[in-house]
Amino acid sequence: MAFLQEKLVFLCLLVLCMNSVLASSRNRRYTSPTVPRLTDVFPHVSITNVFSKAFGGSNVQVTGNGSMATLALDKISGSGLASVNKYHYGFFSAAIKLPPGDSSGVVVAFYLSNADVFPHNHDEIDIELLGHDNRNEWVIQTNVYANGSVNTGREEKFYLWFDPTTQHHQYTIIWNNHHTVFLVDNIPVREFQHSSTFYPSKPMSVYATIWDGSEWATHGGKYPVNYKNAPFTVSFAEMEMSGCISNPSASPSSCSKTPSSLDPVEGPEFVKLTNQQVSAMDWARRKLMFYSYCKDTSRFKVMPPECR
């Protein structure tokens, strides 16, 4: 009997140890490299002034005199904000605090798109944060669409090096005539160089959303949203939107006619990554990237030219 009890205790300790190891692997904690804080360059904007409700009605709450917005997903609806203006190039950033707990199938997105104007030929630059359950981590997916390639995005996925549910972290997109850069807490995780054949070129709106992505984000609905845990709420704060506001009456856009004078991300700190930023991006991609379209030979029989 004593032997069985000792064996049971050993097995319990072994399970606890394995769970600890798995939890450690799921929740990676790294000391990130030091990089320039580009988010300190631009002012915060009032959400009330630059956004309107896109969908979700009362699931969208703006507080703090326009400094913060809370978006919710429940059984009835997700919710979202859309920018009042469209932008051609710029610096777009939000501090985001994600829903805690089991949030498998929940998708939080901060992105640019013009699908409302060009439904079959749209551009898009995405930061998508994909919810998890006990078997998975929160991940960030970055994506680019251009020139009507709505079925062939350029996805890359990364683990995060912190718990994104305990406090706000900054997620940033730089989009200019030279490259598109995705940053997390000012660390570049991906740079997409301007290509003459594949690059977002038309003015876009900025969106902040939360929605049910069960079918899309969980292997065809394998781990759907569990609405017993609803509502799922995400907080957006410290919004920065400094770009060339597109004038729809100008053709071509006034932004494209004189980009150097109107584009706020044409300065030397935005047109090229510094050696420090390149080193930080290499760190993020080595340690945290687990999917890149450039390595997906089953999807691309012929790799896109930028992968070569």
Q: Which residues of 126-135 are buried (b: 16+ CB within 10 A; e: fewer)?
A: bbbbbbbeee
Q: Which two tokens stand for residue 149?
A: 């390639």
Q: Which of 128, 156, 191, 240 is labelled catalytic? A: 128
Q: 293-297: long-range contacts at Cβ-Cβ below 8 A with a sequence spacing of 24 or more?
A: 293/153, 293/154, 293/155, 293/156
Report the relative pairing of strands 187-193 and 179-184 from DSSP bridges.
Answer: antiparallel
CB of 110 closer than 8 Å to CB of 238: no
Q: Is 128 annotated in the active site?
A: yes
Non-local (6+) Cβ contacts of 306 within 8 A are 154, 192, 193, 195, 198, 294
Q: Is 155 annotated in the active site?
A: no
Q: Which of 124, 156, 191, 240 is labelled catalytic? A: 124
Sort 7 into a burial class: Cβ within 10 Å, 0-12 / 13-18 / 19+.
Answer: exposed
Whole-angstrom distance, CA of residue 143 vs CA of residue 284: 17
Closest CA to 127 of 107, 146, 103: 107
Q: Which residues belong to the active site? A: 124, 128
